[in-house]
Homo-oligomer: A and B are copies of this chain.
């Protein structure tokens, strides 16, 4: 059987036709154009999906179900999107509206959850008993896979690892209104903030040169590239960042202890350089030093993870 996957983002709607072996037979994408009535966006999601179907030379009869990953909180039981900041959605009957165009069973879940599910089905965590997927991007997303299924919580508000508190006193203010969330220490945004703070006290770092002497051009890649070639300030920032990331991973180990923890998102492109730095710091924080603990891996499906994981929610 075949499945339609839709990855609804703040910038683009992506769709794909996916087979049960996680192969993409065809895919299509178009702009989301937020600031429209949700019904218009859902009509475009359906059109985008049907375009993929057409590109694959298939008919709707070949499709078993449709899955949608959304950048927010979904209630898969009711098919409603509870909350979706980027799209300004609140309590939207997504499944019901989408079924007007595609009359198939519809499954919805958080985008990081479905990306983690895709890595479990077809990526780096394939075949594992349990995994936690962490996207290190502008923000931090999380996907928890237990017993072969994504776990986004009973109310759909779980796996929001980026907003677990990591610092209850003197925490960095978070966009969510709280202090000290994981996201403020472990996202690409956090590296950039730490680099800018460091550069404001010491402007001799080559990071500044790599950013054309423009602090606004500092990004995570510049910091990591500068650290790799031995820039002292960049190394300091990278050491602090990987210390915080190790602490967030210890939180995941001490609470969930999955078989593997998968790092995705922009910062994960640093690959082994990132893994090595974090792996060096984890053992000292383990509760039981002699016990086995989750292996850290870098995600491998990249941008396709969203549509693959969404498609196979119905498998």
- A interface residues, Cβ below 8 angstroms from B: 73, 82-83, 90, 129-130, 142, 144, 146-147, 151-161, 163-170, 176, 178, 185, 244, 247, 250-259, 285, 287-288, 290-294
Which residues of the partner chain B approach A164 to less than 8 Å between Cβ atoms?
250-251, 254-255
Q: How far is the CA of A170 from the CA of B147 in the complex (A)?
A: 37
Kindly state the separation between the CA atoms of A144 and B160 in the bound complex, as whole angstroms: 17
If A82-B288, A147-B147, A287-B176 touch, whether A294 touches B155 (CB-CB below 8 Å) is yes
How many Å from the CB of A261 to the closest CB on chain B? 11
Given contacts A170-B169, A285-B178, are A154 and B259 in contact (CB under 8 A)? yes
Cβ-defined contact, A165 with B163, below 8 A: no
Query: Are A157 and B73 interface neighbours, CB within 8 A?
Result: no
A157 touches B257 (CB 8 A): yes
Whether the pair B168, A247 counts as a contact (CB closer than 8 A) is: yes
Extra inter-chain contacts (6) besides given A146-B151, A157-B253, A158-B256, CB under 8 Å: A73-B288, A73-B291, A154-B294, A159-B255, A169-B169, A256-B256
- Some 20 contacts from A to B, beta carbons below 8 A apart, are A90-B290, A154-B257, A155-B257, A155-B293, A155-B294, A156-B257, A157-B253, A157-B288, A157-B293, A158-B258, A159-B257, A160-B254, A165-B166, A165-B247, A165-B285, A166-B168, A167-B168, A168-B244, A168-B247, A178-B250
Compute how far the CA of A292 lies from the CA of B82 in the bound complex, rounded to whole angstroms: 10
Q: Which residues of B contact A257 (CB under 8 A)?
A: 152-159
The distance in angstroms between the C-alpha atoms of A18 and B165, with both chains bound, is 40
Chain B: CB-nearest residue to A146: B146
In Å, the complex CA distance between A151 and B170 comes to 33
Residues of B within 8 A of A155 (CB): 257, 259, 291-294
The smallest beta-carbon distance between A181 and chain B, in angstroms, is 8
Q: How far is the CB of A201 from chain B (nearest CB, A)?
A: 18
Q: How far is the CB of A206 from chain B (nearest CB, A)?
A: 28
Question: What's the Cα separation between A254 and B256 when bound, in Å?
Answer: 13
Instruction: Please measure, in the bound complex, the distance between the C-alpha atom of A225 and the C-alpha atom of B244, giving whole angstroms.
Output: 39
Query: Which of these, B156, B254, B293, contacts A163 with CB under 8 Å?
Result: B254
CB contacts (< 8 Å) of A247 on chain B: these are 165, 168
User: Contacts A157-B293, A158-B253, A259-B154; is A170 near B168 (CB within 8 Å)?
Assistant: no
A142 contacts B255, CB within 8 Å? yes
A291 in complex: contacting residue of B82, B176, B288, CB < 8 Å:
B82
Give the distance in Å from the alpha carbon of A156 to the alpha carbon of B130 in the complex: 12
Among the listed B154, B161, B258, B292, which residue makes an inter-chain contact with A130, where contact means beta carbons less than 8 Å apart?
A: B154
